[in-house]
């Protein structure tokens, strides 16, 4: 390949045969060069394609790695990762919530004082029920069925406990609505009826709500809620009583809205003989209502009292608050 050092310089001086051979050599060289160029072009092309493929696969690897990183992050953040899942799981519940919005009680905007009177207490049991067997028959100390007249001392004391349980719940509900509540009693203690009224009159309470339960001798079918107010004669003598029917109406509206959770509202009764429990109504100076929250002598009233006592408390508190707002 030494002659290639001066390939064209010798052509002008050499003979034709050498020139032809030279030309043939040049032709061969040209063909080889072309072939070489083609090979190079193909090689470069091949390498280029491979290189591109390599990049693609690398990118795919990177993407795979990225995916793995995301997954790893997801795994590492698994505790956080549960949050969106939990949120998604909660979404259906959240969408259900608007159909049943949380209850927001109405609150008072000014200061109000309510006297809440849990009936009876201590040695004053209020009404009590005979102990009965599953058939509803009164039984004596030996478990033998007997009559009301013959029954002696086998009692289920309920009223003083029932009135306190409900009154404590009403207190909570009223205080949650911004009302100041004064209680006659917060435990099983005895307070005379006259003292209840006298203390309430000195307290500045705007209304007096007394909680009791009813009892019907010899009639276990009688059921329902009722309210007792002073009679018209007393109302005429005590101007402060004139709004007691309004107060009772607001409470009854709320209790009526409870539907089957009560055995109905029997109505408002006005006593002409101010004795016993009802005396608190006559001795107080402000609007006062005595609520008989169902009959202890009726099994259905007792069952609903146990089941829906909280609902009763909310209803009574809402009724009182609505009346208080009419006084603002
Ligand atoms: Zn009572």
pLDDT digits (tens, 9 = 90+) for 216-275: 988 999 999 999 999 888 888 998 899 999 999 999 999 999 999 999 999 999 876 777
> Tell me: the pLDDT tens digits for 199-215?
999 999 999 999 999 99
Residue 298 clears pLDDT 90, i.e. is over it: yes
The residues whose Cβ lies within 5 A of ligand 1, an ion, are 119, 126, 212, 277
Phi/psi at 293 (5° precision):
-90, 70
Q: Which domains does the chain have, with CATH numbers?
A: 2-76 (no CATH), 113-326 (3.40.630.40)
The pLDDT score that the predictor gives to residue 10 is 32
Q: Out of 202-211, 273-282, 292-301, which region has the weakest mean confidence (pLDDT)?
A: 273-282
Is 18 or 188 the better-scoring residue by pLDDT?
188
Q: What separation in Å is there between the alpha carbon of 20 and the centre of ligand 1? A: 141
Q: How far apart are CA 90 and CA 93, in angstroms?
A: 5
Mean per-residue pLDDT of the chain: 79
304: tokens are 């609903």
127: left (phi over 0), alpha (psi -120 to 50) or beta: beta
Q: What separation in Å is there between the alpha carbon of 166 and the centre of ligand 1? A: 13
Q: What separation in Å is there between the alpha carbon of 304 and the centre of ligand 1? A: 18
Q: Give the residue-averaged pLDDT of 286-300.
A: 96
Q: How far apart are CA 43 and CA 51, in angstroms?
A: 12
Q: What separation in Å is there between the alpha carbon of 118 and the centre of ligand 1? A: 9
- Give the start-end residues of each E strand in the chain: 113-118, 128-130, 155-157, 180-183, 207-214, 225-230, 265-271, 288-295
Q: What separation in Å is there between the alpha carbon of 96 and the centre of ligand 1? A: 43
Q: What separation in Å is there between the alpha carbon of 212 and the centre of ligand 1? A: 4
Maximum separation of any 2 CA atoms in the chain, in Å? 160
The pLDDT score that the predictor gives to residue 85 is 46
Residue 315 clears pLDDT 50, i.e. is over it: yes
Q: Indicate the SS3 state at residue 114.
A: strand
Q: How far apart are CA 321 and CA 179, in angstroms?
A: 8
Q: How far apart are CA 280 and CA 292, in angstroms?
A: 14
Q: What separation in Å is there between the alpha carbon of 165 and the centre of ligand 1? A: 14
Residue 11 clears pLDDT 60, i.e. is over it: no
Q: What separation in Å is there between the alpha carbon of 290 and the centre of ligand 1? A: 9
Residue 19 clears pLDDT 50, i.e. is over it: no
Q: What separation in Å is there between the alpha carbon of 160 and the centre of ligand 1? A: 8
Phi/psi at 301 (5° precision):
-60, -40
Q: Indicate the SS3 state at residue 162.
A: helix
Q: What separation in Å is there between the alpha carbon of 135 and the centre of ligand 1? A: 26
Tell me the H-state helices in the chain.
Answer: 16-76, 78-96, 159-176, 193-203, 232-237, 244-256, 279-283, 299-326
The pLDDT score that the predictor gives to residue 48 is 58
What pTM did the predictor assign? 0.67
> Tell me: the pLDDT tens digits for 106-152?
899 999 999 999 999 999 999 888 888 888 888 888 888 888 777 77
pLDDT band at 6 (very low <50, low <70, confident <90, very high): very low
Q: Which residues contact 152 (CB under 8 A, 6 or more apart)?
A: 140, 141
Task: Confirm if 240 and 288 have CB atoms less than 8 A apart.
Answer: no
The pLDDT score that the predictor gives to residue 31 is 60
User: Helices 159-176 and 299-326: crossing angle, nearest 10°?
Assistant: 30
Q: How far apart are CA 190 and CA 124, in angstroms?
A: 7
Taking alpha carbons only, the member of 44, 161, 60, 167 closest to residue 116 is 167
Q: Indicate the SS3 state at residue 279.
A: helix
């Amino acid at each position: 390949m030494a002659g290639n050092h001066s390939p064209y310089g010798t052509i002008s001086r050499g003979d034709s045969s050498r020139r032809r051979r030279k030309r043939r050599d040049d032709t061969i060289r040209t063909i080889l060069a072309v072939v070489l160029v083609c090979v190079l072009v193909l090689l470069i092309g091949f390498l280029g394609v491979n290189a591109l493929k390599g990049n693609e696969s690398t990118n795919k690897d990177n993407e795979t790695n990225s995916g793995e990183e995301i997954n790893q992050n997801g795994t590492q953040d698994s505790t956080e990762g549960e949050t969106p899942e939990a949120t998604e799981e909660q979404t259906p519940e959240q969408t259900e919530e608007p159909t049943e919005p949380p209850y927001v009680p109405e609150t008072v905007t000014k200061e109000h004082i309510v006297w809440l009177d849990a009936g009876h207490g201590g040695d004053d049991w209020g009404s009590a029920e005979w102990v009965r067997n599953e058939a509803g028959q009164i039984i004596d100390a030996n478990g033998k069925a007997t009559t009301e007249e013959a029954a002696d001392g086998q009692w289920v004391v309920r009223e003083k406990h029932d009135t306190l349980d409900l009154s404590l719940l009403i207190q909570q509900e009223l205080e949650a609505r911004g009302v100041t509540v004064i209680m006659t009693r917060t435990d099983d203690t005895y307070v005379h009826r006259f003292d209840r009224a006298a203390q309430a009159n000195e307290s500045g309470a705007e209304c007096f709500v007394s909680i009791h339960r009813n009892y019907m001798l010899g009639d276990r079918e009688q059921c329902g809620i009722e309210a007792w107010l002073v009679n018209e004669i007393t109302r005429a003598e005590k101007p402060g009583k004139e709004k007691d029917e309004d107060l009772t109406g607001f409470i009854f509206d709320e209790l009526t809205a409870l539907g089957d959770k009560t055995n109905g509202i029997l109505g408002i009764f006005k006593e002409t003989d101010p004795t016993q429990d009802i005396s608190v109504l006559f001795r107080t100076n402000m609007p006062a209502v005595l609520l008989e929250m169902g009959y202890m002598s009726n099994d259905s009233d007792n069952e609903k009292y146990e089941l829906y006592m909280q609902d009763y408390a909310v209803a009574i508190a809402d009724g009182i608050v609505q009346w208080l707002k009419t006084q603002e």
